[in-house]
Structure 1
Amino acid sequence: MCLAVPGKVISLSQDELGWRQGKVSFGGVIKLVSLAYVPAVKVGDYVIVHAGFALSILEPQAAEETLEYLNQLTQMEKKNGNNQSY
């Protein structure tokens, strides 16, 4: 199963072909993501990312709620002896 997760845009740039890209933080893990599908994105916005592409911009409250649910799921899994991170 694939899961698109929210991340926070921390910087914007362009690749060698001129496509927009940015560094996105996923709980402190920084990934370089294509921003081709979200031309209006700004630093500080939350985006949903799947397979290296930001697919949409999220409202901050929705992103924070989703991240909290994922954190709760991780804590429940650890409590049950599964150390997998989501």
Structure 2
Amino acid sequence: MCLGIPARVVDPGSPDDAFPMGEIDVAGERRPCCFAYVPEAQVGDWVLIQNSFAMTIVDEASAAESMAAIDEFDLLPPSPQ
């Protein structure tokens, strides 16, 4: 089972590309991400990511609830300083 991690879209890349690569913010850390499954994603949207792919767009309340559970169980490694 895979766990989708919520992330805020920083740059969704170009939707015209076959595999649009953009950038997301996961708990303060920016990472590359493929937006092929959600080409409609916009800057500021929340998405669930799995294996560096944005899988679905979620609302901010759902993202906050998921991040609270992830924080509670310490599921993300600390960001490098």
> TM-score range, shorter-chain basis?
0.7 to 0.9
**Structure 2 unaligned blocks of 5 or more:** none
User: If each structure's helix is expressed as a fraction of its own residues, which one has the higher value?
Assistant: 1
Distance in 2, matches of 1:11 and 1:67, equals: 21
The one-letter amino acid paired with 2:27 is: G
Residue number in structure 1 paired with 2:57: 57
Structure 1 outlier segments of 4+, above 4 Å: none
Q: SS at 2:36's partner residue?
A: coil
With the length of structure 1 as denominator, give the TM-score of the two structures: 0.75
The one-letter amino acid paired with 1:46 is: W
Residue number in structure 2 paired with 1:85: 77
With the length of structure 2 as denominator, give the TM-score of the two structures: 0.79
User: Between Structure 1 and Structure 2, how many residues are aligned?
Assistant: 76
Cα deviation per residue 1:26-45 (whole Å; 9 max; x = unaligned)? 10121111101002100001
Distance in 1, matches of 2:77 and 2:12, equals: 27
Q: CA deviation at 1:4?
A: 1.8
Residue number in structure 2 paired with 1:9: 9
Give 1 or 2 for the bigger CA radius of gyration: 1
The one-letter amino acid paired with 1:85 is: P
